[in-house]
Structure 1
C-alpha cells in the first residue's frame, strides 16, 4: 500500500542526501522516480537538489501553482515521487499528494523542515504533519551536542533575528540548527 511520508528535521540534518539516496536505490532496481524541489530554493540552481556532501541532481521545480494531481493525469505513473523542501508546499498541494499516494498507489516521500526561525510551522509542514501516513524525524545536533530541533536566522551583523519574511532563502551563513535551549536563550 502506497503512503504519504514526511521526513522532517532542523536544517542541515541530511534530508537532501537521504532523498538522493532513496532515488538512487529505486533507480538501481530499474524503477523510475520523479524528483521535485521548490522553485523558491535556488541556492544550488533552479530545479536542483543538492546536499552539503556534494551530491546533486536535477529535479522538477514546483511552485504555488503546481497541480500535482493534474501532472499525474498526464504522465505515466512513476514508482515513487520524492519532494525536497516540502515545507514550501501549500496545504492544498499536500492534500493532492495524499490523494496521489492513496488513489494512484504511488508512494510520495516528502523531506522538509517543520518550523521557521520564529518557531512557527510552515504551511506545508503543518499539512504534512496532519495528513502524512508515516512521520519520521531525522536527527541533527546543536553545537552543544543536544538534539537540534529549531532553526535560527541571523541578520547582517550576525545576531539572531525573529523578524522578517518567513521565507528568505539562505545557507549556513544565515541559519543554524539549534537545540530549544539555545533557540530561547541564545546559549547552550
Structure 2
C-alpha cells in the first residue's frame, strides 16, 4: 500500500538533498518519478536544488495547481513509481488531500519535504495538514550554533537582526534565515 510521507525540518537540514537522493534511488532501479517544487520560490526556476550542489528538474505548483488531476493523468500515460514534492509547506490544504488521494487511490507513494514552521514558530497551512494526515512523519535534523537540534527558522534582516513582524512567506536562504534551537530562537526574538 502506498503512503503519504512528510519529511520536515528547519532550514539547512538537507531536505532537498534527501529528496534528490530518494529520487536517484528510484531512478537507479529503473523506476519513474515525478518531482514538484513551489513556483513561489523564484530561486528554483523549475529545479529542486540542494545547498550541497545537487539538482534536478521539477514541475512547479501554484495554489491553483490540481495535483490530483495532473499527476493522475501522467500516471495513466506512463505509470509513476513515486511522486516527490519539495517546499511542501507551500501546498494548500486541498493539495495535501489531493496527494493523499494519489497514495490511497492511485497507489503512488508520495514523499513531501518541507518546513514545519515559519519564522514566528507558526505552522504553515500545508505543513499543518501534512502533520495531521501523513502516514509517516520523519524529522530531519539540523544543528543550532550551540550544538542542539535546530527546530526553528529565525528570519533576519540585512544586518542580521531578528525580524519579528512581516508576511509569513518570504523566499530566502542563509541570507534571510538562521536555523536555531527553540532557546536561541526565543532569545533572538526577545532581544
TM-score using structure 1 length: 0.96
Q: CA deviation at 1:41?
A: 1.1
Conserved? CA contact 1:86–1:110, under 8 Å = yes
Q: Which residue of 1 aligns with 2:13?
A: 13
Q: Which residue of 1 aligns with 2:29?
A: 29
3-state SS of 1:109 partner: strand
Q: CA deviation at 1:57?
A: 1.0
Q: CA deviation at 1:42?
A: 2.1
Query: Counterparts of 1:64-143 in structure 2 under 5 Å?
Result: 64-76=63-75, 77-143=79-145
3-state SS of 1:26 partner: helix
3-state SS of 2:143 partner: coil
Q: Which residue of 1 aligns with 2:161?
A: 159
Q: CA deviation at 1:98?
A: 0.5
Conserved? CA contact 1:42–1:48, under 8 Å = no
Could you report, residue by residue, the CA deviation over 1:133-163 in whole angstroms, capped at 9, with x for unpaired residues? 0000001110100000000001233210111
CA distance in 2, matches of 1:75, 1:13: 31
Unmatched runs of 5 consecutive residues or more in structure 2: none
Give the root-mean-square deviation of aligned CA atoms: 1.1
Q: Which residue of 2 aligns with 1:50?
A: 49
Conserved? CA contact 1:91–1:123, under 8 Å = yes
TM-score using structure 2 length: 0.95
Unmatched runs of 5 consecutive residues or more in structure 1: none
